[in-house]
A = this chain, B = another copy of it.
Amino acid sequence: MADFRLMQELAIESSSKIVLLVLDGLGGIPLSPGGPTELEAAQRPNMNRLAAQGTLGQTLPVGHGITPGSGPGHLGLFGYDPLQYDIGRGVLEAFGIGVEVGPDDVAARGNFCTVDERGEIIDRRAGRIATEAARPLVEKLAAISLAGVELEVKPVKEYRFVVVMRGQNLSAALSETDPQRTGAPPLPVRPLDPAADRTARLFNQWLESARQRLARDHPANMVTLRGFSGDPRLPKFESIYKMRPACLAVYPMYRGVARLVGMTTIDVRGDKPEDEFRALAAVWADFDFFFVHIKPTDSRGEDGDFNAKVKVIESVDSALPILLDLKPDVLVITGDHSTPAKMRTHSWHPVPLLLWAPETIRPDDEQVFGERACAHGGLGTIRAADLMPIALAHGGRLTKYGA
């Protein structure tokens, strides 16, 4: 918060353009000792040229040793300390499938589960039923109506779904219903704050109705709700940085996170890097800051497919000239976290960072964009949330502190 006061005090308007290109899960590790990481293995002539002209470093999305989810990973890149600002899990799950969560809504993650005749849970994930099997059950849940509120229920994957409740004076200060073990019944929703009394009653009514409607649907004969959350009411990007921000992203979750900080989401035709860069070019005059999100680096990392992740990086590199032809004043290339293919999951490793700004850059000794080079780049190892002030400074968008 103190940082935002400083940013709000120092940020000034400018005609400069800043691009933040996020390759989701960019950072990697070698498959075998001495080998290259995914980024180091990629043919990346454009990125290497930018690295030679620019300066490198590495970002810590949350802190040393901390593996971030997608929400914290992106909040950090936007300058919001992820330990201070929190997007609830219900909201993130809703964003992930393109469900809106407005300022007055409460979202929750739902799990189908199996209960016995006494109502005690015997399988917390209902035998991990298939996505297709869950679909008609979600339709049953979507048919539940409650007086005074609107409800939206959507499937996510396998046994997981999302519920969003919309109405007046709702509160997400609610306890979860998953007892986190078998042999116990689902817990009732309890208000964690008197203002949440009515919302708790409504969700308990909904749960009772769900129980009745699913009673014959073994193994998915009951549900639990977790991660109740609403709009985190984040300070808005434009009011902090005095830039009009645009989001170029294909996946709903990232568009949702961008909207939470007040970015305008731009529709992208197609899902290739060049499609995103062309969509960016089409709105170049209308915004000052462009967040471009590339998803498949993370997806191929989670698949454990090292070579496919390399290919994604190469496809971004090949498309980069479309972006560079726009002559951005500042270009940042980084990730929201690492997703080493060897690990098949998000990791805590620092994230490669490339900063390029032709007019104001102080180059370092590094000549290529890769994890080893970034580890001794001129920017050092910084918190992801410190990146925005650096980008603004290079865009001539921060005035002097003190006389």
Contacts and interface: CB of A to CB of B under 8 A. Distances in A.
Interface stretch (A69-77, A120-128, A205-213): A69-77
Contact of A380 (B6, B92, B380, B391): B380
Contacts of A89: 402-403
Given A65-B389, A377-B375, A393-B66, A71 B365 contact: no
A371 B394 CA distance: 17
Interface string A382-402: 100011111111100011111
Given A362-B37, A363-B34, A393 B65 contact: yes
B363 A62 contact: no
A71 B362 contact: no
A361 interface: yes
Interface string A281-300: 00000000000000000000
A140 interface: no
Given A30-B363, A87-B402, A65 B378 contact: no
A285 to B, nearest CB: 26
Contact of A403 (B69, B358, B380, B387): B69
Interface stretch (A144-152, A180-188, A345-353): A345-353
Contacts of A273: none
Contacts of A364: 372, 375-376
Contact of A64 (B28, B37, B69, B389): B389
Contacts of A1: none
Given A83-B6, A377-B375, A93 B403 contact: yes
Contact of A65 (B27, B58, B72, B391): B391
Decide if the interface of chain A is mainly helix, strand, loop or mixed: loop
Contacts of A386: 63-65
Interface in A78-117: 82-83, 86-87, 89, 92-93
Query: Which residue, of A65, A340, A360, A372, has the highest number of chain B Cβ atoms within 10 A?
Result: A65
Task: Sort A-B residue pairs by CB-CB distance and give the 5 closest, nearest first.
Answer: A65-B389, A380-B381, A69-B402, A65-B393, A375-B378
Given A37-B362, A65-B389, 18 more contacts: A27-B362, A63-B386, A65-B398, A66-B401, A68-B401, A70-B402, A70-B403, A71-B402, A71-B403, A72-B402, A89-B403, A364-B372, A365-B375, A375-B376, A375-B377, A376-B376, A379-B381, A380-B381
